[in-house]
A and B are shown apart, each in its own frame.
Chain A
């Protein structure tokens, strides 16, 4: 029923059960004691009221008899009043005793007998008192009534009987009360034994559960403590290694920080150089524009030269055409002159003269042809020179074009260089900024690494503390196992 409950619950339940049994025993003891007290109270009541009342009846009747006798002797009203008061007191005591002895019929009957006998005795006494009051001088004989003594003895005997009855009843009641008290004691002792047995069972059960459950738990705690101690030792070792590594990292980060600052300084210098280069590039850009204008002017001049040379070539060709025509005419003239000479050779003397003229014409034609040939050669030379010049000029123009293109390329390259320099400058600034940010980050990392190193040292210290605590816990577990009776594992 208790399986699966926690040990605290079991402990609380055990204490609750023990407490309940204790309360039960206490209540039972209280009841038994109350019972005993009630019984004893009844005995005491009976003793104090019944026996005392009965005894007081005897004393009161004895005092009345004494007061009656004193009146008889001295006829003093004081004694008469006293004897009357004694009788009233006796009657009151009888009445009180009757209420006390109302649970004992025998005693009530004896008390009724006492009352009856007292009435009888009182009647005798009353007659005698009356006689005495009427008697001036004491006369014993007159007052000696033979009924008085039997009535008195009967009354005293009845009272004694009543006293004996009350005493007997009280003794009986006392005995019963003692027996009840004994039984109550036995009951309480028995209940105490049951309580002790229950408590012992609970203690045994708790001890068994304590040994079994707490022992197992403590065993686990002990093994866990050993594992925790080993882990703490490893953690301490790891913490030391980590602290050492973090110190190395901190040193490396410090060197990295120095390097980053050097890089930032270098970037700043590079940025300055790049800005100077950009200024020089802007200055060179103006020079490039001027040079471009000069090249354009040279190109225009070269084009004009080419045009002029081409015009000169065309003129030379036209002159050549004229010279060709002259040469053609000279050749025709030469042929005609030769043919004329041939014809003239067969014409006799006249023909011979004509032949002379024809020969002269042929010579003129030859000279003309020679001159035309020379002119042709000159023209060819001129055309060659023109062609050479045109070619040279075209080559120059092409060179100018190529130079212009190369200059454009150079300009583009120069502008590209300027852009790259600007880009380099921007990149250098970014690198500088990034390096500064990196320096800041490295400083933060260095601080974090220092914190981590300190945390590692604290971890190592904590691990050592944990190891000591685990060892202490293991010792405590062993002690606890000894305490619960399981023994050391």
Chain B
């Protein structure tokens, strides 16, 4: 793990926000993270996948909310935090479990293992690392939200 005041030893090591999605440990690149917050009021959206909880207004801007646990595991849990992240099409809120903290994550060790990065997850999981004995999934948030979600969110905002 990386320490403040120390240079990164390799490019694969980066500061990331580590949190739990159910039993899984997940991490987001810190430069993708806008802020963390408590879960806000979320309005469900019709015509969206099941992992999309709905839409919330964060700092005056309506943004879709993605349940990471359901997205990764298919389970439905009570979110403890919302993590607002930047994407190419705007901010997105990820409903997560407990926020572990800011950690330096080395995502190069596992690379793109086909068993872990195939299918829909290949758009979300950028790499897999470890913290201690637990695996750590490095997420890339910009691919997490399908287009229909954005359309539905836009329709909801317009409506």
Asked whether, in the complex, the Cβ of B101 is within 8 Å of the Cβ of A345, the reply is no
Is A44 located at the chain interface by the 8 A CB criterion? no
The verdict on A342 contacting B5 (CB below 8 Å), with A335-B38, A359-B101 known, is no
User: How distant is A356 from chain B, measured CB to nearest CB, in Å?
Assistant: 5
CB of B99 within 8 Å of the partner chain: yes
Size class of the contact patch on chain B: 10 to 19
Q: Assess the A346–B36 pair: CB atoms within 8 A.
A: no
Question: Which B residues, 96 to 153, have Cβ-Cβ distances below 8 Å to chain A?
Answer: 99, 101-102
| CB-based contact B101/A352 at 8 Å | no
Q: Render B27-64 as a binary contact track against A, CB cut-off 8 A, 1 for contact.
A: 00011011111100000000000000000000000000
**B95 contacts A by Cβ under 8 Å:** no
Q: Are B38 and A338 in contact (CB under 8 A)?
A: no
Interface residues of A in 292-344 (CB under 8 A from B): 331, 334-335, 338-339, 341-343
Nearest CB of chain B from residue A341's CB, rounded to whole Å: 5
Are B4 and A338 neighbours in the complex by a CB distance under 8 Å? Answer: no
Q: Contacts A352-B4, A359-B4, A362-B101 given; indicate if A342 touches B17 (C-beta within 8 A).
A: yes
Contact A339/B35 with A345-B15, A345-B30, A352-B5 known, Cβ cut-off 8 Å: yes
Among the interface residues B33, B34, B37, B38, which one has the most CB atoms of the partner chain A within 10 A? B33
Asked if A338 and B34 sit within 8 Å, CB to CB, the answer is no
Main secondary structure of the interface of A (DSSP, over half): helix
Q: Assess A338 versus B31: contact at CB under 8 Å? Given A355-B4, A356-B4.
A: no
Q: Is the interface of B mostly helix, strand, loop or mixed?
A: strand
A338 with B5, Cβ < 8 A, contacts A345-B30, A345-B31, A346-B31 known? no
Docked pose: A334 CA to B35 CA in angstroms: 12
A63 to B69, CA, bound (A): 224
A353 contacts across to B, CB distance below 8 A? 4
Residues of B within 8 A of A343 (CB): 35
Total interface residues in chain A, CB < 8 Å: 16
Q: What CA separation (Å) do A339 and B17 show in the bound complex?
A: 10
Min Cβ gap A454→B in Å is: 112
Q: Which residues of chain B are near A356, meaning CB under 8 Å? A: 4-5
Taking a contact as CB atoms under 8 Å apart, the answer to whether A335 and B102 are in contact is no
Q: Is B102's CB under 8 angstroms from A341's CB?
A: yes
CB–CB A335/B36 < 8 A? yes
The minimal Cβ–Cβ distance linking B39 to chain A, given in whole angstroms, is 12
Residue of A nearest to B5 (CB): A352
By a CB distance below 8 angstroms, the chain A residues around B101 are 338, 359, 362
* Closest CB in chain B relative to A105 CB, distance in Å: 201
In whole angstroms, how far apart are the Cα atoms of A334 and B37 in the complex?
10
Residue among B5, B34, B35 having the largest count of chain A Cβ atoms under 10 Å: B35
In the bound complex, residues from chain A placing their C-beta under 8 Å from that of B102 are 338, 341-342, 345, 355, 359
Cα-based distance from A335 to B30 in the complex (angstroms): 15
- Report A-chain residues with C-beta under 8 Å of the C-beta of B34: 342
Besides A334-B99, A335-B99, A342-B36, 14 other A-B contacts (C-beta < 8 A): A331-B38, A335-B37, A335-B38, A338-B99, A342-B17, A342-B33, A342-B34, A342-B102, A345-B31, A352-B5, A355-B4, A356-B5, A359-B4, A359-B101
The 7 closest A-B pairs by CB, nearest first: A339-B35, A345-B30, A341-B102, A356-B4, A338-B36, A342-B33, A335-B36
